[in-house]
Amino acid sequence: MSHWITVPVLLPAVIGAAMVLMMRNDLLLQRVFSLASVLGLLAVSVTLLVVASHEPPEVYQLGDWPAPFGIMLVLDRLSALMITLTAVLAVAVLLYTIGSGWDNRGRHFHALFQFQLMGICGAFLTGDAFNLFVFFEILLIASYGLMIHAGGKDRLRAGVQYVAFNLVGSSLFLFALAAIYSITGTLNIADLAVKSAELSQGDAALFRVAAVMLMMVFAIKGALVPLQFWLPGTYSNAPGPVAALFAVMTKIGAYSVIRFGVIVLPPTHPITGTLIADLMLPAALVTLIIGALGILGATTLSRLAAFAAVASMGTAFIAIAAFTPAATAAALYYMVHSTLAGAALFLIVDLVAHRRAHDGLRQSLPPIAQAGLISGLFMVSAIATAGMPPLSGFIGKLLVLDALRDQAALVWSVILATSLMTILGFARAGSTLFWKAHASAPDGDAPGHPAQVLAFVAVGALLAGLAVLTVFAGPVITWMEATAASLYDPSAYIAANQLPEVK
């Protein structure tokens, strides 16, 4: 099975390169190979998920170089979950892209899409901090190309802002890695977990600084206050399918915090202690509040969806900051939910934008084609995003609240208050976009528009995923709890790397 671990990285890399070299002028051929690639990625990811669910962590040594000197790809329950989530999202987004014709607005959309998947899957699978930086850079390059796909002044400006923030993050990442390597002599995650706990007091101050810098990098990727400023402008100006794919990119920041915060820098670490958790919880609470205020005051539907992404990351980081198995399991469930719900919302925003000159929320506008179907999809996504019953958002927030019941006075009040604000914001947006638009139409008629069946199927599939996550919440939560338990007992993860004994 070990060679299959490389497929989520190699498959999109090879297909993307082939598209650039041999298919750049044939859109149909690009669509066929791109769809075959994501379906293959989904099949391999599900297989790896099944294997990881029943087997201990498995390490693939590239070039057969042993840890901690070589490049490691590590498959465990957490990495398998995240690449499977990425594959599911990729299939839905690609179907929408083909169905809506977005890929016809630029020659290299499908190649960039594949390179983006390569970077995402590589970030989830790598067992080495430096190669996490490498995959972050692949993500940055591919996502910038996707961000400015089809051009436009606003999109280019948002793209430049996005790159600027991420270049700052990349610089911090290099400084942090350099400091950590100078202290420990390694960047292998499993090796760091062992050696960082044995550092002398003379290295403690520098290691704490490097640890905080590293978490700041992940906070930028995860849009955590005060480093969230890039997200609303970037996501609201990105093409709808691209913003939907970006829904899993912020989860890379959350994933990295879980991976390093639990294995390398746990609250029991003799040097960092609870420093990471103490800094993260207030930032997460403020992130959630800012996201909810943004939803309540959004002037366009695209900005509403972008601030919903900020709020969802705030909720996820609140759970992560507790650094307990129960809270981490709740965070994982909520991350899966928010990825599917956020992607569906961005695709719905694009459906509206296709049928109307703009998506402003300041005043009612003329009705749109297929308004009944789109309004129904919007209502479902709004219920899921706000965390209302009966969908998985409600279950996810209940899990977070239950895991943090010892901090109920603060955490519960913030989550419940922001949920109410989110409900009000979505209710206002839906009323302006659909109900008032229909009521103000002279004859109730809307202009014609192609049905885009495949696009609606893609959105419906994402919302159906939320329904599945709700119906099978019991076994899914049990699986998440087992995953969290394995993270908080990293002995199997460390043993899989077969680290040499220190003499």
Q: Which of 67, 317, 351, 326 is nearest to 192 (CA)?
A: 67
Q: How far is CA 301 from CA 100, 267, 298, in A?
A: 19, 40, 7
What integer pLDDT is reported at residue 449 of this predicted model? 61
How far apart are the C-alpha atoms of 460 and 481, rounded to whole Å?
28
Structure tokens, 305: 């969806």
How far apart are the C-alpha atoms of 28 and 49, rounded to whole Å?
31
Residue with tokens 């996201």: 291
8-state DSSP, 25: T
CB–CB of 488/325 below 8 Å? yes
What SS3 class is residue 400?
A: helix
Q: Which of 221, 208, 226 is nearest to 280 (CA)?
A: 226
| Preceding amide of 390 cis, omega within 30 | yes
What SS3 class is residue 451?
A: coil
What integer pLDDT is reported at residue 357 of this predicted model? 63
CB–CB of 240/349 below 8 Å? yes
What integer pLDDT is reported at residue 450 of this predicted model? 65
Q: Which of 456, 466, 463 is nearest to 372 (CA)?
A: 456
What integer pLDDT is reported at residue 37 of this predicted model? 96
What integer pLDDT is reported at residue 412 of this predicted model? 92
What integer pLDDT is reported at residue 204 of this predicted model? 87
Neighbours of 425 (CB within 10 A): 25
CB–CB of 57/2 below 8 Å? no
What integer pLDDT is reported at residue 165 of this predicted model? 82
What integer pLDDT is reported at residue 443 of this predicted model? 45
What integer pLDDT is reported at residue 92 of this predicted model? 96
Please list the rounded mean pLDDT of every run of 10 residues in the chain (503 residues).
Answer: 86 94 88 95 96 92 76 92 96 93 83 94 93 91 83 76 83 92 90 87 88 91 85 85 91 94 90 90 95 91 92 95 94 96 94 75 70 89 92 94 88 93 92 69 52 88 95 96 94 80 46
Q: What share of the chain is helix, strand, coil (3-state, %, to 5)?
A: 75, 5, 20
